[in-house]
């Protein structure tokens, strides 16, 4: 069963009509598509590389959820910070992360973002405001609120975005930190990715009430959008980011979406028996990348051939990233004892 | 070279260090339950809100994980937060933030970020506060690479170590024994710092060594005084920080005296005393007259009733008797050999 997605827009008061989502610059519609394709190709290539036994460790793929990361990150400046989750590749790429250094990290190489000391769940790029994927569910929420606090204390204009899943909504840390963020009007945007399952348990079996209602109870304005529609996500994020920049405090956006792949690479087919193939296919028919592709073609922003070229070029870029990572040197053994302390 | 100093309490020393450091560096902020308007449950942070205002001193909700979580993120992005967790027992509520986030971020990111964060917290028994307000959990944090653990015992050390902890680029757990807040001693004026990882010899002697942490300094000095009256000269050493630990100072003393007692208020099993004893035995085995003795808290949840609680905490008498017993064994062995 696919939960119903509300398309109702919240009352945005004076902020209404800031821009018309259907009258953005053409380049922006193409950029939405490019970055979603980048994530899709990256993740499907991870699937392939992992399946061939080249990549050690764990991998949690973002395939199917691309519109959330892209719609939010394209509202941000480089100085703005994000925190991510164990399913973090998409957020990193959307914020500008380098696929070559990401793949090198996934393979445990010296030229990886973290010199192979973090792996898939811990990639950080401080220069891009990527404060990290995080291996603990809700683990990024404290860091995100703290980054917002430091922006406020230091009088810096940057804002902070916390990506988290429906699973993190039931962690205590969300309530402890969101309460303070609301009390102190911190420049923070909560982006809840509801991909319908916390590991192998459906949201309907784990979550009473709803994310937006819980946020509203703490005085945080909230809305729910179709997380497979990059334009809807962008519009909501634009509203939330403007509020944060204006010093009006945190906002909360629930993005309804779906992960096509399993919770992690070990979750294939019927291994855990928690969802049906029919349900997966139903969501695959609502592919966010195809949706944006169709929007661009129907609105004559670019022809299909141009989009095909983007897909080909992106796959080539990812293939080069994999080659770069495979050829890169493994991390020097001396590295194991470095960076324990500053 | 002498630094000007005055006599004051540990409470005053910590308060002074916080004032001075916050004046020195505008990136230092203070967060915790009741630390602002009320001046802290133990009145350690009195006057800071008034001087530095609400943009730098935060009265937080009762939300330990959230407080430390915010502090970690703030530390990653340019601030130097000093957090107060009211009782060290409550650091367990924030343990994911301390152990999985603060301690590991620098390593996991291969040095891309740092987490300059101090968590001050009140530890120790004797306040008749029962099992959830009395624990000494220093070993939990000393066990985790990436954290530093500081345990001052005197006003002078409290001031100098706190300033160093605040200036350190790593997460530091700063444990203050609540029963020592009123203890008096000299407080050096001005920019006085003590490097983390350097122990202090409080009393010199050749006959035995007592290694003691935090408030255990006081019963140890009392025992040493009684022993001195009987002609037994005991060396009393406070490592001051247990992570990093000044192994060399302890090992050299053990080599000199051949007899060592380690006293720490944490539980004896798998405790600080076990680690220190092991390091001394590895470094000074050939010089030891007998195995290193350990005195920790009894392995029970701390009871409330004074008559019961007193039975669980290391005492001067217990330390005295332990040293005497080691001396007696030596004497017996010497007689047997003759």
Contact yes or no for A150/A101 (Cβ under 8 A)? no
Checking if the pLDDT of A16 tops 70, the result is: no
For residue A128, list chain B residues with Cβ-Cβ distance below 8 A: none
- The pLDDT value recorded for residue A18 is 61
Looking at the complex, report in whole angstroms how far the Cα of residue B282 sits from the nearest Cα belonging to chain A.
22
Q: What is the number of helices (H) and of strands (E) in chain B? A: 12, 14
In angstroms, rounded to a whole number, what is the distance separating the alpha carbons of residues A305 and A310? 9
Catalytic, B275? Answer no
Chain B contact set for A124 (CB, 8 A): 105, 108-109, 112-113
* Distance from C-alpha of A113 to C-alpha of B8, rounded to nearest angstrom: 50
The two domains B5-188 and B200-337 share their CATH topology (first three levels equal)? yes
Query: What is the average per-residue pLDDT within B241-267?
Result: 98
> Domain map of chain B by residue range?
5-188, 200-337
Radius of gyration of chain B (CA): 20
* CA A185 centroid distance within chain: 24
Average pLDDT over residues B328-337: 83
Q: Distance between CA B66 and CA B101 in Å, rounded? A: 12
Q: What is the pLDDT of residue B334?
A: 82
Checking if the pLDDT of A11 tops 70, the result is no
Q: Do B70 and A172 touch (CB under 8 A)?
A: no
Question: Structurally, what CATH architecture does the domain formed by B200-337 represent?
Answer: 3-Layer(aba) Sandwich (3.40)
Pick the closest to residue B149 from B21, B140, B95 (CA basis).
B140
- Measure the CA–CA gap between B206 and B232, rounded to whole angstroms: 8
Is the Cβ–Cβ distance between B227 and B236 less than 8 Å?
Answer: no
Q: What is the pLDDT of residues B149-183, one digit of tens each?
A: 999 999 999 999 999 999 999 999 999 999 999 99
**pLDDT per residue over B175-211, tens digit each?**
999 999 999 999 999 899 999 999 999 999 999 999 9
**A12 located within any domain:** no
The CATH number of the domain where A286 resides is what? Answer: 3.40.50.970
In a domain, A215, yes or no: yes
Partner residue facing A139 (CB), from B101, B112, B169: B101
| Closest residue to B106, CB basis, from A83, A154, A339 | A339
Residue A161 · residue A193 · CB < 8 Å? no
Give the pLDDT confidence of A198-223 residue by residue, as tens digits.
999 999 999 999 999 999 999 999 99
A141/B107 Cβ within 8 A? no
- Its CATH architecture, for the domain B5-188, is 3-Layer(aba) Sandwich (3.40)
Q: Are A229 and A36 in contact (CB under 8 A)?
A: no
How many angstroms separate the CA of residue B200 from the nearest CA in chain A?
Answer: 23
- The DSSP bridge partners found for residue B210 are B236, B261
Contacts of A278 (CB under 8 A, 6+ apart): none
Mean pLDDT rounded to a whole number for chain A: 94
Evaluate whether B262 touches B277 at the Cβ level (below 8 Å). yes
Q: Is the pLDDT of residue A255 over 60?
A: yes
Burial class (CB within 10 angstroms; exposed 0-12, middle 13-18, buried 19+) of B228: middle
Sign, Cα dihedral of A142, A227, A38, A29: negative
> What element of type H or E holds A309?
helix A304-327
pLDDT (0 to 100) of residue A269: 84
Per-window interface: A 167-186 vs B, CB < 8 A: 172-173, 175-177, 179-180, 183-184
- pLDDT of residue A283 exceeding 50, the answer is yes
Which structural domain range is residue A216 located in?
27-326
Which of B63, B77, B99, B148 has the highest number of chain A CBs within 10 A, making it the mutation to test binding with A?
B77
Q: B229, B197, B227, B186: which is closest to B210 by C-alpha? A: B227
pLDDT > 50? residue B124 = yes
In a domain, A65, yes or no: yes
Active site residue B84: no
Pairing of strands B80-87, B118-123: parallel
* DSSP 3-state of A175: helix
- pLDDT band of A17, cuts 50, 70, 90: low
Catalytic residue, chosen from B64, B156, B235, B309, is B64
Please give, rounded to a whole number of angstroms, the shortest distance from the CA of B94 to a CA of chain A: 10
* Average pLDDT estimate for B5-19: 96
Number of domains in chain A: 1
Rounded to an integer, what distance in angstroms lies between the CA atom of residue B119 and that of residue A203?
Answer: 36
Q: Which residue of A has its CA nearest to B60?
A: A180
The reply to whether A110 falls in a domain is yes
Chain B hits for A117, CB-CB cut-off 8 Å, are: 107-110
Say yes or no for a CB contact (<8 Å) between A142 and B27.
Answer: no
């Amino acid at each position: 069963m696919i939960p119903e997605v509300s398309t109702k827009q919240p009352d945005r008061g004076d902020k209404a009509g800031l821009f018309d989502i259907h009258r953005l610059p053409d380049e922006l519609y193409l950029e939405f598509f490019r970055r979603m394709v980048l994530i899709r190709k990256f993740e499907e290539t991870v699937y392939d590389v992992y399946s061939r036994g080249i990549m050690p460790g764990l991998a949690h793929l973002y395939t199917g959820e691309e519109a959330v990361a892209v719609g939010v990150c394209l509202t941000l400046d480089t100085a703005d910070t994000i925190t991510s989750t164990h399913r973090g590749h998409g957020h990193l790429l959307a914020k500008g992360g380098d696929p070559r250094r990401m793949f090198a990290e996934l393979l445990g190489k010296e030229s990886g973002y973290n010199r192979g000391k973090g792996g898939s769940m811990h990639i950080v790029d401080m220069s891009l405001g990527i404060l990290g994927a995080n291996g603990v569910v809700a683990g990024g929420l404290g860091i995100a609120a703290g980054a917002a606090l430091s922006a406020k204390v230091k009088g810096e204009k940057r804002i902070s975005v916390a990506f988290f899943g429906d699973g993190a909504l039931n962690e205590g840390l969300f309530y402890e930190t969101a309460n303070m963020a609301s009390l102190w009007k911190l420049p923070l945007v909560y982006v809840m990715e509801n991909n319908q399952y916390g590991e192998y348990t459906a949201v309907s079996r784990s979550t009473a009430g709803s994310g937006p209602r819980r946020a509203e109870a703490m005085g945080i304005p909230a809305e729910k959008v179709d997380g497979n529609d990059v334009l809807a996500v962008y519009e909501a994020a634009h509203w939330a980011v403007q509020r944060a920049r204006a010093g009006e405090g945190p906002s909360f956006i629930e993005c309804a979406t779906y992960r096509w792949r399993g919770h992690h690479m070990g979750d294939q087919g019927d291994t855990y028996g928690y969802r049906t193939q029919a349900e997966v296919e139903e969501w695959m028919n609502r592919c966010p990348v195809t949706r944006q592709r169709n929007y661009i073609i129907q609105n004559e922003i670019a022809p299909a051939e141009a989009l095909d070229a983007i897909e080909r070029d992106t796959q080539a870029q990812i293939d080069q990233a994999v080659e770069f990572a495979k050829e890169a040197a493994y991390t020097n053994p001396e590295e194991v004892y470095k960076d324990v302390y500053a | 070279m002498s630094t000007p100093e005055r006599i004051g309490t540990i409470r005053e020393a910590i308060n002074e260090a916080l004032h001075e450091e916050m004046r020195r560096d505008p990136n230092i902020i203070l967060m915790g339950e009741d630390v602002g308007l009320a001046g802290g449950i133990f009145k350690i942070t009195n006057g800071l809100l008034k001087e530095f205002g609400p943009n730098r001193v935060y009265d937080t909700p009762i939300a330990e994980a959230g407080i430390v979580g915010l502090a970690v993120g703030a530390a990653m992005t340019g601030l130097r937060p000093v957090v107060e967790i009211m009782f060290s027992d409550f650091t367990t509520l924030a343990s994911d933030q301390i152990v999985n986030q603060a301690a590991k971020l620098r390593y996991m990111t291969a040095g891309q970020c740092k987490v300059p964060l101090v968590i001050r917290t009140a530890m120790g028994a004797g306040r008749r506060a029962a099992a959830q307000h009395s624990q000494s959990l220093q070993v939990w944090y000393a066990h985790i690479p990436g954290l530093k653990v500081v345990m001052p015992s005197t006003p002078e050390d409290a001031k100098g170590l706190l300033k160093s902890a605040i200036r350190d680029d790593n997460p530091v757990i700063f444990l203050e024994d609540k029963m020592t807040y009123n203890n008096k001693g000299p407080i050096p004026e001005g920019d006085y710092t003590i490097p983390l990882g350097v122990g202090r010899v409080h009393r010199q002697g050749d006959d035995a060594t007592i290694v003691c942490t935090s408030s255990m300094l006081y019963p140890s000095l009392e025992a040493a005084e009684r022993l001195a009256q009987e002609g037994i000269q005991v060396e009393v050493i406070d490592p001051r920080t247990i992570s990093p630990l000044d192994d060399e100072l302890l090992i050299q003393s053990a080599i000199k005296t051949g007899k060592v007692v380690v006293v720490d208020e944490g539980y004896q099993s798998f405790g600080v005393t076990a680690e220190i004893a092991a390091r001394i035995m590895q470094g000074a085995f050939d010089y030891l007259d007998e195995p290193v003795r350990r005195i920790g808290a009894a392995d029970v949840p701390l009871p409330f009733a004074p008559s019961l609680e007193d039975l669980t905490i290391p005492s001067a008498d217990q330390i005295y008797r332990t040293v005497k017993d080691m001396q007696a064994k030596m004497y017996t062995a010497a007689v047997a050999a003759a």
